[in-house]
Amino acid sequence: MTLISVDGDDSDERLAERVAAQRAKPGFALDGHFYRSRRVYRKELDEILYKSWLYAGHVSQIANPGDYFLYDLGEDSIIIARGQDGAVRALMNICRHRGARVCEAAQGHRTSFVCPYHGWTYNLDGSLKAARAMAVKPGFEPARYGLKTARCIVYEGLIFVNANPEAADFEAALRTIEPALRPYGLPSAKIAHRQIYTVEANWKLVLENYQECYHCATAHRAYAKLHTIERPESEVKDITASMLERAERQTGVPGITHAHYQAYGASRGFGTCVYTSRYALYDGYRTGSEGGQPVAPLMGEFKGYDGGAGDFQIGPLAFMLNYPDHCVLYRFTPRSPTRTDMELVWFVRGDAEEGRDYDREAVTWLWDRTTKEDEYIISRNSAGVNSRFFEPGPYHPEFESLCLEFVDWYLGALE
């Protein structure tokens, strides 16, 4: 656990002052108060995270009726379950009697959810099946005491949840990036590996790190060797143009170069961030691996390699980097003001067999290495911004442009 110096004045008034001061210095990184204030963290949960569309998991994790897994956010636990009717639902893991959690194992198979405290039993759709001996209570209506639910959608095999019953439509936003996302065949893909990397840092430091490649050349030598995004756009425009010209022809996928941006302030509705573009790998490299050579069968509709990679944002806290032969999903989950889980999910073609069609270590090598490097630099960043002597500096106008947009959106949400 990281110990930090918390401001003595951690009031709403102090927060309003800090937001106003930050607004008065556009283009600069966030003040340290936003990373160490517990009041700020609570407001982030209430006004941002619980009102945004967040990636929960993949349909392969609940392939059959009765399968479930838990998705945790803040102090809350959500059961993602497939009902007997085949529908996927998000159920709050809180018994409607006295509040005990009705499900403890992180994943599994159930025919019902039974509270271990007093035995109240719930169907897979969350409705109350049985409340032991409660028939003696006059007026007790079981239909009123089903598990609470969160909004839940499934799109291209990816499951998203939103705890806000009045959340904006996310499916409409997701359809805007469909031409670039659909060809990877994610609904039928398989998870080759999942891993959580816990970093002792505020979630915003983790998110900002992912959104900029200003650090790539210095911190990620293996990644920077392959990906042109580590350099200013003006320096690699010819490589990018060449890749975009051949992309449809060599991949066999019409529309694979589709680009779209509606994230943060440009979103259709709060918490519905979506973005996609295709950028080039350096000449001679075909995928994100050690050496840049293929490590798995081609995904979905792909017929070949174009020397490009699909870059995606799906909600405020989830991102994908999709190569023709595998896809890498990043999800950031806040655990406390100074602790964040970075979860990586590697997808390969659904019929690919480990040991025959792909080697798991080869598929995960680059992004496992890169994420461990991120874990190190983010923890150093956290130690600095939590110092009483920290003074924010200016963002880079190109490399850190997404950080600028995030900060503007973030401050608006706090306001």
Residue 4 has a pLDDT of 55
Average predicted confidence (pLDDT) for the chain: 96
Residue spans per domain, the chain: 61-155, 168-414
- The residue-averaged pLDDT of 393-410 equals 96
Contact 70, 78 (CB under 8 A): yes
Q: Check residue 1 and give its pLDDT.
A: 52
- pLDDT category, 26, cuts 50, 70, 90? very high
Q: Please give the helix or strand (H or E) that residue 92 lies within, else none.
A: strand 88-92
pLDDT in tens, 310-344: 999 999 999 999 999 999 999 999 999 999 999 99
pLDDT at 75: 86
Q: Tell the CATH superfamily of the 168-414 domain.
A: Naphthalene 1,2-dioxygenase Alpha Subunit; Chain A, domain 1 (3.90.380.10)
pLDDT(6) > 60:
no
User: Can you give the pLDDT at residue 300?
Assistant: 98
Q: Check residue 83 and give its pLDDT.
A: 98
The answer, yes or no, to whether residue 41 has pLDDT greater than 90, is yes
pLDDT in tens, 362-392: 999 999 999 999 999 999 999 999 999 999 9
User: What is the CATH code for 61-155?
Assistant: 2.102.10.10
| 312: DSSP letter | E
Half-sphere exposure of 217 (CA within 13 A, CB side): 7
Q: What share of the chain is helix, strand, coil (3-state, %, to 5)?
A: 35, 25, 40
What pTM was computed for the model? 0.95
What share of the chain has pLDDT > 70, as a percent? 98
Contacts for 170 with CB less than 8 Å, ≥ 6 apart: 53, 153, 155, 160, 162, 269, 271, 272, 315
Residue range 281-311, pLDDT digits in tens: 999 999 999 999 999 999 999 999 999 999 9
Distance CA 107, CA 121 (A): 18
**pLDDT band per the 50, 70, 90 thresholds, residue 74:** confident
